[in-house]
Structure 1
Amino acid sequence: MSTPPLIGVTTYLTRARWGVAWDLPAALLPADYPRYVQRAGGLAVMLPPDDPGTAAAVIRRLDGLILAGGEDLDPALYGAEPHPRAGAPVPERDRWELALLTAALDQDVPVLGICRGMQLMNVHAGGTLCQHLPDVVGHDEHNPRAGAFAEHLVKPSPSSLLGSLVPDPGDVATHHHQSVDRLGEGLVATAFASDGTVEALERAGGFVVGVQWHPEARGDVRLVEGLVSAAAGCRR
């Protein structure tokens, strides 16, 4: 039996508490992410922030890449000043994930961006972000309560790769206060919320898909099954 595709998943770099008294910096990833990959038949490996110069070598050993959710990107990456509601950036993570994405695109490795991951894909392509979505849409339904997912309707484009995997409109798990503003070069928006917020994007050629929602939080494996299948077919 062949080895299942190896899927790298990026992680937080933050302070965490566990056990009786441990309180230390940690490379952190919610368990839903590796479970998500495993349910689709992949092997998950965590990719904590590292030297960006090693990214190409790391990607050569992977079959697929998931850019996970997390902190706000540094607005300096897209030429903006921080919004008062923007979170503190984590430059080590930004640099690492941008380098991983560059290497994955160069090597035709399938990519799935989730929430922050989709936003990073847009910034990588020269796009910009809305730093506080309620300023634009006039409500906080994309992120009504800290530390908890909400739900709202998303409508995929039927002619897109996303639409072939998730063909029908449906409710998704949401937790974000930032969003795509100007779309990056070479990217196409492929799903929207009812208020017009871009909820997915993709790049033509290969599997390069980003979604603003959290499919791993609701156990919807259709997207990650698409990633794992593409990863199995692109093995070098």
Structure 2
Amino acid sequence: MSGSEQAPVVGVSTYRQRAVTGVWDVEACLTPAPYVEGVTRAGGIAVLLPPQPADAAVAAAVLDRLDGLVLVGGSDVDPALYGAGPHDATDPPQRQRDTWEALLVHEAIARGVPFLGICRGAQVLGVALGGTLHQHVPEVIGHHGHRAGNAVFTPTVVTTVPGTRVADILGDGVTAPCYHHQAIDRVADGLVVGARDDDGLVEAVELPDHPFGVAVQWHPEEDLDDLRLFAALVDASARRRTGAYA
């Protein structure tokens, strides 16, 4: 078999929104290229997973064909999913995307498919398993340092929790590119906190009994000189592909 035939196939979630390309102004399914580049530079093959009408059977059919999964950042999760009303600063809900990504998370967990959640992806994981979110972090910590605005990522010192998978991957911590105004509040049962920042916010969670179930609040795709998280995901996905674990 060639290297490409052996490389793990990793699904990457996408947005559905209006986009302009050339003369076209249309609804599109897209995701920023750095997420794809993180997977491919780490040795995986990336495929895009657009939001779509689905149920558990559809999500299962997708996950049965994948070796790994990345849930990317983006708009806020619908607060109704964790029993809250919307904050004034919360984005309008994208219910199809919320439903689709929650289904993917549940099926990835059920099948032992390795996954990496990024920013919104960490929040999707937390909410899907029964946790809650801070809807506007500045009201919790008293500053806007985690989302400076104008697409400027803020370097944020993140400290890992000893004994976690995140600590195994990143050591004691990392200066991470952040761009978020929401964050995990109540940690869902079954999740373990893998990292916090200097404000005490949860910056990473993980499923300790899963082959690779890790989610971070920051944006590792914005610093592809450090591929450790993507490499760990692709390595776990490759082991699944070769039958190292089922």
Q: TM-score range by the shorter chain?
A: over 0.9
Consecutive unaligned residues of structure 1, counting only runs of 5 or more, are none
Match of 2:173 in 1: 169
Counterpart of 2:128 in structure 1: which amino acid?
Answer: H
Give the deviation of 1:226 after TM superposition: 0.6
Aligned to 1:23: 25
The answer to whether the Cα contact below 8 Å between 1:52 and 1:100 also exists between their aligned partners in 2 is: no
Match of 1:14, as an amino acid? Answer: Q
Paired residue for 2:233, among 205, 211, 227?
227
- The equivalent residue for 2:217 is 212
Residue 51 of structure 1: how far off its partner (Å): 2.6
TM-superposed CA distance for 1:232, in Å, is 1.0
Match of 2:206 in 1: 202
Aligned twin of 2:49: 47
**DSSP 3-state at the match of 1:140:** coil
Checking the alignment, whether the CA contact within 8 Å between 2:138 and 2:144 is kept in structure 1 is yes
User: In the alignment, which residue of structure 1 is the partner of 2:95?
Assistant: 91
1:151·1:172 contact (CA, 8 Å) conserved in 2? yes
Aligned to 2:10: 7
Amino acid at match of 2:53: D
User: Per-residue CA shift, 1:124-181, capped at 9, x if unaligned?
Assistant: 1100000000000000000011322111100111311011111032211100000000
Equivalent position amino acid for 1:146 in 2: N
Which amino acid letter does the alignment assign opposite residue 41 of structure 1? G
CA RMSD in angstroms, aligned pairs only? 1.0
SS at match of 2:158: strand
- In 1, the alpha carbon distance for the partners of 2:203 and 2:127 equals 15
Structure 1 residue identity aligned to 2:25: D
Contact 2:77 2:98 in 1 (8 A): yes
Please give the alpha-carbon distance, in whole angstroms, between the structure 1 residues aligned to 2:111 and 2:150. 37
Partner amino acid for 1:214?
Answer: H
Distance in 1 (CA, whole Å) between partners of 2:215 and 2:181 is 16
Aligned partner of residue 6 in structure 2, secondary structure: coil
Select 2:110's aligned residue among 106, 111, 126.
106
Cα distance in 1 for residues equivalent to 2:31 and 2:219? 14
Helix, strand or coil at the partner of 1:209 = strand
Are residue 150 (structure 1) and residue 151 (structure 2) matched?
no
C-alpha separation in 2, matches of 1:29 and 1:148: 18
SS in 2 for 1:16: strand
* Residue number in structure 1 paired with 2:120: 116
Deviations 1:200-234 (A, max 9, x none): 00011210000000001111210111111111111
1:77-107, Cα deviation, whole Å (9 max, x unpaired): 0000000110111001001001111111111
Please state whether the residue corresponding to 2:140 is helix, strand or coil.
helix
Paired residues, what number?
235
C-alpha contact (below 8 Å) 1:162/1:190 kept by paired residues: yes
Q: Say if 2:202 is the partner of 1:183.
A: no
- Alpha-carbon deviations, 1:26-77, whole Å to 9, x = none? 1011010111100100000000012322110000000000010010000000
Paired position in structure 2 for 1:125: 129
Deviation at 1:3, TM superposition (A): 2.3
